[in-house]
Structure 1
Amino acid sequence: MARIVSLFKSSPLNDFLIPFRKAQNQWVARYIIIVFALIVRSAVGIGPYSGEATPPMYGDFEAQRHWMEITNHLPISEWYFYDLQYWGLDYPPLTAYHSWLMGKLGSFIDPSWFALNTSRGLETADLKSYLRITALIAELAIYIPAVQMFTRWMGRYYRKVTTIDQTIISAAILYQPVLIIIDHGHFQYNSVMLGLSLLAVVHLLYDNYCLAAILYVLSFSFKQMGLYYAPIFFFYMLSACTWSSDTHSFDLQRLISIGLCVIVTLGVQIAPFLIFGGLGQPQQILIRMFPFDRGLFEDKVANFWCATNIVIKYKKLFTSEQLKAMSLALTLLGILPSSLVIFFNRRKELIAWCLASCSMAFYLFSFQVHEKTILLPWMPIVLLLNEVDPDVISMVCWFCNVALFSMWPLLKRDNLIIQYFVLGVLSNWLMGNLSWIRRFLRMIKLPVKYRDLATPVLPHNWFWSLVIVTSYLAASALHIADAFVQPPRSLPHIWIIGNVVLSFGCFMLFWLWCNYKIFVMCTTPESKLKTN
């Protein structure tokens, strides 16, 4: 059996879990990492949230609460039409049903939390606790099991690693701060959409195509950004029908069954709106889900359009229709390599890589991207921690740190500054990425207890090591400037722009590296990959 544990040698994460190495079943270790993960998320939830005490619109916390309010008091025909100038419902039907259920359960505790119109801006401690608990339960029920199931499959059937190594990798994924600080700090339910997508991936690994299709439809039916993964799911399943491993020919029955699962899953969700609201409901739902009238980008985000807008003023030079066409063309070009690879080279170990490349292309080039959208490429990228390759793990850690840094302006606005720094340090410390401090202390002759340095910290390639170190130094400089240097009046957003440009450059380089790795894997025999 391969041993992943050596890749985290001398790291705190390894030290915490290595006593369970000899256990036949790792259930105790798994429960320990889950309990600790919930404690960390609960601690973050004690802090501020999006829009706290900032009337009249407040923020995402109020948006989620308001959707529970309107779905519990209005007929379904009005859900997507009611008071759109406030926090009108703009997520797909599954989110609406979820809001209805959470509002119904919460109303049993205290009906005033979701009283129509009179509860707007409510920020009581018990309401906050209730909503925070619902976010915890959602992640515990969907995302956390999906992570463990994926890691278990990769460990058993692909890399052939021990159960303790699988547990360590699961912990490394669950303690990454990006999802924690958005769902349990800023406040959203992204873990539901990401967890359903990951469960769909797991069932692709087990060749359960119909169940995978149902779960993936539920994923983007909860949050439309789940469509970032659509090309990979589509071409993987189409490939499974075109070159069936069972019949070695086109499998029409499989294609029909997958298609029916997709249609029925969507139909069941839309049917109540059609029955009680009429034929105009689907159009209104789509208009609310895809607000193209908001423009190329709404806020400063580390993608191609916002970063290059510093030089090229797109909104002045091009019409909205031209920008939509340009964005579509670049996005299609960006997702093409991963889509073609997964169709013509349907290998299960390529799924996470292709999902990472495809969703990263959407983030970089598509229309109307938000800072939080980095969660979409982040999810498949953290799954790459399952690779038995210290260089890959180093690159993934770098990406996760940059992803957290890219959300700094948003998190600062939410007053999540302490949570941002504590989670960033905690995750890197657990992974062993701060072991270089011990080396530095030894160099200056401070009395530090001798201990092996943890790996990995930097990749072996000198170019990527230089890129990573330079980006960390630049990010640190921007943080120091943001804290102590007043920006000039002519450039009031200079530090935010610096964040956008630096993060975009890192994301672009990572996307190119990801596509290179996919090319290498496609040209390497599968048997050799498993033994490396």
Structure 2
Amino acid sequence: MARKPSLRVTNGQFIRDVFWFSTFTKLLLFSAYKSTDFEVHRNWLAITHQLPVAQWYRESTSQWTLDYPPFFAWFEWVLSWFATWFDSGMLVLQATPYESPACTFYQRLTVLVTEQCLLYALVRYTWGRKVFRDTHMGRVITLLTFLNPGFYLVDHIHFQYNAAMYGLLVLSIALMSEQRPLWAGMVFSVLLNFKHIYAYVAPAYFVYLLSGYCLGRDPVLALRKRTPSPWLETGWRLAKLGSLVSLVFAVSLGPFLYTNQLSQLITRLFPFKRGLCHALWAPNFWALYSVGDRLLYHIVRSLGIWAQVKPTASMTRGIVGDVVFAVLPDISPRATFILTVLVQLPGLVYLFRYPSRTNFIKCIVLSGFASFLFGWHVHEKAYLLIVVPMALLLTSGDINLGRIFFLLNLAGVYGLFPLLHQPMETPLKLSITLLWVFGARYGLKLDSSPASPTAESSGSSCNTNWSWVVEGWYMWGFICLQAYLGIIHSWVLGDNPSFEFLPILLTACYSAVGMVYVWVRFYIWFFLS
């Protein structure tokens, strides 16, 4: 009797299906809207191709000067040589933007090709260890991360290379899970020299490698039993780790130190003259702070309580410029740095005392939260620094964490909507987001009630019925807000210049409420799960 063929999809077939679905849908976006970041990266291709290394961080023909770390500059240099096969015109240094069909195709193609680093890292994390092999959650993590709307909107429409960078982050975490701490530290050092935003999560790496590996407090990470001289073993491990990290930074910064560009490079990487808030507000604490200042300003002025109040309150002056508040204290870069460190500190102390792989990833999430909510001049796309590592924690199957992750991504993605500001792009960004929403609700089984058996898992003690109700109403609020922004706002206010930035304000503040709520919920889950 003939045996019926199995309908079960193997892991290999699943990965191929994800790859082809992702590739096909992203190819359809090649002709979509692109931001000024498209010209930024085109100019970087020209700089690295036309000029010697000694001039890379001094070149200023275009306003879009090179302001990423050295490894990203070398990455652009490699891409520039392949660019000659498509359109050599894109490699001409000029102050005005350049665009051609071949240039657009090539730059879109580079994003599509390099983001496969993220798919590889996710596969390595979810199926590289037997504990995760053939699990439902492994596939859910891969799908919800690789097909995240944030990567569609930011990388494949707005135009950047975030997925490739997060691939290195996930690969580093996977190597840590595979008990290869030295390789994990080296890969993370490479990532820091590609994009310095990841310095925000560096404290989690430092504490875990110090406590778990160098001091041997995590038996899984330490691998070997201690020698008769524990301090000698600690010193040897610290020397190996420090040598690898120093080697990476020496290779990265050495050529620019030799050409006397190091001070110029640092100035480009850390432009503190930029304002507290980005032109398109990130949905963080400072968005709420700015709106609170504006409300207090109107209250104080109408009541005449405070005669010394400033006549105007500039909540943001765009990409460059200081932010001046009318009533609340002005915020300096130093203040945001101190606040970020203080918010990170409890998680770092906990990780030092109880080093483990799970606590390490949790601490990466908390560090990302702290930098996003309280950092200086935060971009809205930086929410990916939280949601990508949080997805790796979903292997626990905890439905409470699943709901936190879902709400976080929903608020973060909606905060990206102002990036695509043309009305014709609204159906595109809504359809991409809704597809992910339906997939996440099904994959994470979020329709289970809090009293159902499926909801009983580790960390469920921090969940209450009221939180499910609040979260449900908040999610429905996105539909109401989108209805207002997409239809009612233009009907009621039209082109009134006084309300030109109201959609950005409402989007940032409503998403910020969700972000702060999720941060509090995750902090509770961190210590109680």
TM-score (norm 1): 0.82
Q: Which amino acid aligns with 2:245?
A: V
Aligned residues: 466
Counterpart position of 1:307: 288
Distance in 1 between residues matched to 2:200 and 2:134, nearest whole Å: 33
Counterpart position of 1:351: 360
Secondary structure at 1:315's aligned position in 2?
Answer: coil
Distance in 2 between residues matched to 1:226 and 1:260, nearest whole Å: 20
Counterpart position of 1:47: 32
1:186-216, Cα deviation, whole Å (9 max, x unpaired): 1101122211111111111122122111110
Q: 1:286 to 1:402 in 2, by over 3 A?
A: same
Q: Which amino acid aligns with 2:203?
A: P
Secondary structure at 2:25's aligned position in 1?
Answer: helix
**Paired residues of 2:415 and 2:507 also in contact (CA < 8 A):** yes
**Paired residues of 1:192 and 1:219 also in contact (CA < 8 A):** no
Q: 1:321 to 1:70 in 2, by over 3 A?
A: farther
Secondary structure at 1:255's aligned position in 2?
Answer: helix
Distance in 1 between residues matched to 2:436 and 2:413, nearest whole Å: 11
Secondary structure at 2:84's aligned position in 1?
Answer: helix
Counterpart position of 1:14: none
1:499 paired residue among 504, 507, 523: 507
Residue 78 (structure 2) pairs with residue 101 (structure 1): yes
Unaligned runs of 5+ in 2: 1-5, 294-312, 314-322, 451-463
Counterpart position of 1:447: none
Counterpart position of 1:469: 472
1:96-495 maps to which residues of 2 (within 5 A)? Answer: 96-117=73-94, 120-140=96-116, 142-153=117-128, 156-157=130-131, 162-163=134-135, 165-239=137-211, 240-244=213-217, 245=219, 246-248=224-226, 249-250=230-231, 251-275=234-258, 277-278=259-260, 281-299=261-279, 300-312=281-293, 315-316=324-325, 323-412=332-421, 416-432=425-441, 455-457=445-447, 460=450, 461-484=464-487, 485-486=489-490, 487=493, 490-495=498-503
Distance in 2 between residues matched to 1:475 and 1:481, nearest whole Å: 10
**Paired residues of 1:384 and 1:396 also in contact (CA < 8 A):** no
Q: Which amino acid aligns with 1:46?
A: S
Secondary structure at 1:357's aligned position in 2?
Answer: helix
Secondary structure at 2:292's aligned position in 1?
Answer: coil
**Paired residues of 2:283 and 2:412 also in contact (CA < 8 A):** no
Q: 1:378 to 1:416 in 2, by over 3 A?
A: farther
Give 1:458 deviation, angstroms. Answer: 6.3
2:8 paired residue among 20, 27, 40: 20
**Paired residues of 1:89 and 1:288 also in contact (CA < 8 A):** yes
1:73 paired residue among 33, 50, 53: 50
Distance in 2 between residues matched to 1:458 and 1:231, nearest whole Å: 36
Give 1:319 deviation, angstroms. Answer: 12
Query: More displaced, 390-399 or 334-343?
Result: 390-399
1:289-321, Cα deviation, whole Å (9 max, x unpaired): 111011212322211112211123662469999
Counterpart position of 2:303: none
Secondary structure at 2:67's aligned position in 1?
Answer: coil
Give 1:165 deviation, angstroms. Answer: 4.9
Q: Which amino acid aligns with 2:78?
A: L
Query: More displaced, 295-304 or 410-419?
Result: 410-419
**Paired residues of 1:144 and 1:174 also in contact (CA < 8 A):** yes
Give 1:231 deviation, angstroms. Answer: 0.9
**Paired residues of 1:44 and 1:419 also in contact (CA < 8 A):** no
1:474-512, Cα deviation, whole Å (9 max, x unpaired): 222221111222346544322321211111111111111
Distance in 2 between residues matched to 1:237 and 1:151, nearest whole Å: 22
Secondary structure at 1:222's aligned position in 2?
Answer: coil
Distance in 2 between residues matched to 1:79 and 1:415, nearest whole Å: 38
Counterpart position of 2:457: none
1:412-440, Cα deviation, whole Å (9 max, x unpaired): 25964233111111112233459xxxxxx
Distance in 1 between residues matched to 2:103 and 2:62, nearest whole Å: 24
Q: Which amino acid aligns with 2:215?
A: T
Of all paired residues, the percent bearing the same amino acid is 23
Query: More displaced, 334-343 or 491-500?
Result: 491-500
Unaligned runs of 5+ in 1: 1-17, 51-58, 435-453, 522-532
**Paired residues of 2:114 and 2:164 also in contact (CA < 8 A):** yes
Give 1:393 deviation, angstroms. Answer: 1.6
**Paired residues of 2:276 and 2:331 also in contact (CA < 8 A):** no
**Paired residues of 1:48 and 1:414 also in contact (CA < 8 A):** no
**Paired residues of 1:49 and 1:416 also in contact (CA < 8 A):** no
Counterpart position of 1:61: 38
* CA RMSD of superposed structures (Å): 2.5
**Paired residues of 1:48 and 1:415 also in contact (CA < 8 A):** no
**Paired residues of 1:192 and 1:222 also in contact (CA < 8 A):** no
**Paired residues of 1:47 and 1:185 also in contact (CA < 8 A):** yes
Give 1:236 deviation, angstroms. Answer: 0.5
**Paired residues of 2:122 and 2:170 also in contact (CA < 8 A):** yes
**Paired residues of 2:387 and 2:405 also in contact (CA < 8 A):** no
Distance in 2 between residues matched to 1:320 and 1:123, nearest whole Å: 44
Distance in 1 between residues matched to 2:334 and 2:135, nearest whole Å: 49
**Paired residues of 2:172 and 2:183 also in contact (CA < 8 A):** yes
Give 1:31 deviation, angstroms. Answer: 1.1
Q: Which amino acid aligns with 1:512?
A: V
Counterpart position of 1:8: none
1:93-113, Cα deviation, whole Å (9 max, x unpaired): 111101111111111333112
Distance in 1 between residues matched to 2:254 and 2:385, nearest whole Å: 28
Distance in 2 between residues matched to 1:322 and 1:175, nearest whole Å: 37
Give 1:182 deviation, angstroms. Answer: 0.8
Give 1:269 deviation, angstroms. Answer: 1.3
Distance in 2 between residues matched to 1:396 and 1:164, nearest whole Å: 17
Give 1:124 deviation, angstroms. Answer: 1.3
Secondary structure at 1:270's aligned position in 2?
Answer: helix
Distance in 2 between residues matched to 1:229 and 1:462, nearest whole Å: 33
Secondary structure at 1:311's aligned position in 2?
Answer: helix
Secondary structure at 1:151's aligned position in 2?
Answer: helix
Distance in 2 between residues matched to 1:327 and 1:295, nearest whole Å: 12
